[in-house]
Structure 1
Amino acid sequence: MERRSFLKKASVGVAAGAIAAPAIAQSAPTIKWRLASSFPKSLDTIFSAAEVVSQHVKTATGGKFEIQIFAAGELVPGLGVLDAVKDGTVDCCHTAGYYFIGKDPTFAFDAAIPFGLNSRQQSAWLWEGGGMELLRDFFKDYNIYNIPCGNTGTQMGGWYRKEVKTAKDMQGLKMRIGGLGGPVLAKLGVVPQQIAGGDIYPALEKGTIDATEWVGPYDDEKLGFNKVAKYYYYPGFWEGSAQLSLYVNQKKWQELPKEYQQILEDACAYAHLEMQSRYDVKNVNALRRLVAAGTQLRPFSKEIMTAAAKAADELYNEYSAKNPKWKKIYEPWKKFRDDELLWFRVAEKSFDDFMHAQQSGKR
């Protein structure tokens, strides 16, 4: 059986193992790419997804296809990676689509939108629900071929210097927040702030901002937010999952041999699975350490969640009225989300609710 045929039919798990053994013909070309990441090396779980892809591609091609990785700022700024790929300055990048909503809010569908999909639903939408076709059509305008490459799972709601119990408590709150969470919370009176990761801690410490969100316990602990903000809220309703992606310059993608294209997509699929698996393990003990050190864990009130959900619906309707690209994706996406919620309510939620109740009863 030809390798290409095998990889196309293999599942993610099988493909991940399959690409470990080089089987590329000696006549295959030697290709070297540069990848610009939006992330620093210190955020090892997110940054390492690109390293996983690079290693698998190199191994599967017997060293003939190499991808050199550059952390945020080494070649281009972390938020400049999309333009760098579009213009051909670098061959590809690893990033999150919602970093680029300033260009078009439609980018957020490739990462997360408030009150959107959880990680399993996001994957289902992409690979089986028509999402990939819709997004690839959108990304053509930016000279980019997009490949899902990681997911953090549901994120936390962030760190606050004071408690927020009601929607009124959100008014005037200066908060570092990325993606469409900012425009949604702005409707509740929050003042969104765009601050680079390395600058968040001093801003929170000095009171320049009142709150910040980042990812979850493992990364947040590394950044030390618990030292300058006491209250840790959940869930991050603006990120029911947060998908990362590999963006490849269209010309470079088209120049790749078909076998290399398949190997790269399979490597990204493996990195996609591995990232969330790592977070699901690492976040457990990180949260325990944070709570033991004095962090006050708090759920967002139903009032805040309900007000934010209403604001999100208003925002999406506003986008649909004036942005055809948004509307083209949003309408089928919304139907998919609503259908998925019906299904997950039947089996998944019932099982999870029972297990959580069982665990609580034993403590």
Structure 2
Amino acid sequence: MKRRAFLRAGLAGTVAGGAMLAAPAVHAEEKFRWRMTTSFPPGLPFYQSGPGSAEWIVKSIDEATNGRLKIKLFAAGELVKWNGGFDAVTGGTVEANSAVAYYWSGKVPALQYFGTVPFGMSFQGQNAWYYHGGGLKLWNEIYSDFGVIGMPCGNSGVQMGGWFRKPMNSLADFKGLKMRIPGLGGKIYKALGVNVKSLGGGEIFPALERGVIDAAEWVGPLQDRRLGLQKAAKYYYTPGWHEPSTTTELMISKKAFNALPKDIQAVVRQVAAAANIIAHTSAEALNGGALKDLVDNYGVITGPLPKDSVDAARKTTALVLEADAAADPVTRKVYDSYMDFQKRHTAWKDISETAYSAYVSGS
């Protein structure tokens, strides 16, 4: 009897132990279903479609989690307006949104720095600041008050200076000009006398075509061609001093993110980091061909912005950034971090990449 009792006890223990071992497998099969909006028109290369885009992110997370996290994606206007993503996530309508953080600078001015900074760091420096200089930590300190998490998931690199319906010959030509341009760049141009307009991507072409605006900035040749801006204006200027390194953000509800198992959280973070480099390099690979197409087949005229306009913009940028930092302690904290890192990074960049580029170009 004792032997049989012992065996029964042992069998029961084995079953119980097996159940305990099986428990993680049950947890591992838990399914999560999210909704995600973006600020970008359907099919827009780089942002909405293609390598490193929102569609790529959603698909990559699905594949990497074997379907445990599926995300239904909505382009701008399909669920909320192009500028409604912040409120949709913080209000619990959706779990995630992809946009550029400067769209929300009306809520927190310091968020400008997590989009781009006029005359600021390029792709390398901006991302070095995020990942290794405290930038990402500061970003999420701000977002913590809103119950969301932010992370980079793309970068345009240096953008073009914009599309203009008429030639720009001097700073005087900007006075009273109606131009679509967001973020700090818009704030700088406003200080220079430009009549700045805020429009979503899908609203730019009709406004430019009808003459509601005289000029517009979007991104670069690949994305601008998709919007058809070459059919509304012919003068396409450089450099994009206003956006030298524009970061696409993935904003996620902290509540939804914390409900995920640790392995899926890691997948989301790593997919976003992968998208950051993949989206950027796709733009670098495709912009040259797109620009050639615009010039050869659409009669687009490229050239530099008037030097006096860029010089004035640079001087005004320094004044505006310092004034904004003086007016708000959160902006001051981010400004100090960014500027300190830029100074240190530039010291290296000047004797490495800048020196190399100057030598190769013969300048």
The question of a shared fold, defined as TM-score above 0.5 by the shorter chain, is answered with yes
The 2-side partners of 1:220 and 1:152 are apart by 12
Mapped contact 1:159–1:213 kept (Cα < 8 A): yes
The answer to whether the aligner puts 1:224 opposite 2:228 as a matched pair is: yes
The answer to whether the aligner puts 1:114 opposite 2:118 as a matched pair is: yes
Match of 2:205 among 201, 204, 226: 201
Q: How many angstroms does 1:121 deviate by? A: 0.8
Mapped contact 1:101–1:180 kept (Cα < 8 A): no
Residue type at the aligned position of 1:131: G
The answer to whether the aligner puts 1:34 opposite 2:35 as a matched pair is: yes
- Superposition pairs of residues 85-100 of structure 1, within 5 angstroms: 85-100=89-104
> What per-residue deviation string (whole Å, max 9, x for no partner) do you get for residues 205-251 of structure 1?
22221110100011111222222212110111110011001101111
The answer to whether the aligner puts 1:76 opposite 2:77 as a matched pair is: no
Q: How many angstroms does 1:158 deviate by? A: 0.6
Q: How many angstroms does 1:25 deviate by? A: 4.6
Residue type at the aligned position of 2:46: T
Residue type at the aligned position of 1:314: L
Q: State the partner residue of 2:107.
A: 103
Q: How many angstroms does 1:313 deviate by? A: 1.1
Q: TM-score scaled to structure 2, two decimals? A: 0.89
Q: State the partner residue of 2:356.
A: 351
Match of 2:347 among 342, 346, 353: 342
The answer to whether the aligner puts 1:323 opposite 2:328 as a matched pair is: yes
> What per-residue deviation string (whole Å, max 9, x for no partner) do you get for residues 68-88 of structure 1?
111111111121001111111
Q: How many angstroms does 1:199 deviate by? A: 2.3
Q: How many angstroms does 1:97 deviate by? A: 0.4
Q: State the partner residue of 1:18.
A: none
Q: TM-score scaled to structure 1, two decimals? A: 0.89
2:72 is paired with a residue whose SS is strand
Residue type at the aligned position of 1:33: W
Mapped contact 1:52–1:267 kept (Cα < 8 A): no
Q: 1:298 to 1:25 in 2, by over 3 A?
A: farther
Mapped contact 2:179–2:215 kept (Cα < 8 A): yes
The 2-side partners of 1:176 and 1:257 are apart by 42
Q: How many angstroms does 1:202 deviate by? A: 2.2
Mapped contact 2:174–2:194 kept (Cα < 8 A): yes
Q: Unaligned stretches of 5+ in structure 2?
A: 1-23
Q: How many angstroms does 1:38 deviate by? A: 1.1
Q: Which moved further from structure 2: 307-316 or 347-356?
A: 347-356
Q: State the partner residue of 1:191.
A: 195
The 1-side partners of 2:229 and 2:327 are apart by 38
The 1-side partners of 2:355 and 2:306 are apart by 22
Q: How many angstroms does 1:26 deviate by? A: 5.2
Percentage identity across paired residues of the two chains: 38
Structure 1 runs (4+) greater than 6 angstroms displaced? none
> What per-residue deviation string (whole Å, max 9, x for no partner) do you get for residues 257-309 of structure 1?
11111110001111111111111111111100111132111112332211101
The answer to whether the aligner puts 1:177 opposite 2:181 as a matched pair is: yes
How many residue pairs get aligned? The number is: 335
- Superposition pairs of residues 165-314 of structure 1, within 5 angstroms: 165-292=169-296, 293-314=298-319
Q: State the partner residue of 2:145.
A: 141
> What per-residue deviation string (whole Å, max 9, x for no partner) do you get for residues 13-55 of structure 1?
xxxxxxxxxxx95531211111111112220321132222222
Bigger Cα Rg: 2
> What per-residue deviation string (whole Å, max 9, x for no partner) do you get for residues 179-209 of structure 1?
1111111111111011222222222222221
Residue type at the aligned position of 2:270: D
2:83 is paired with a residue whose SS is helix
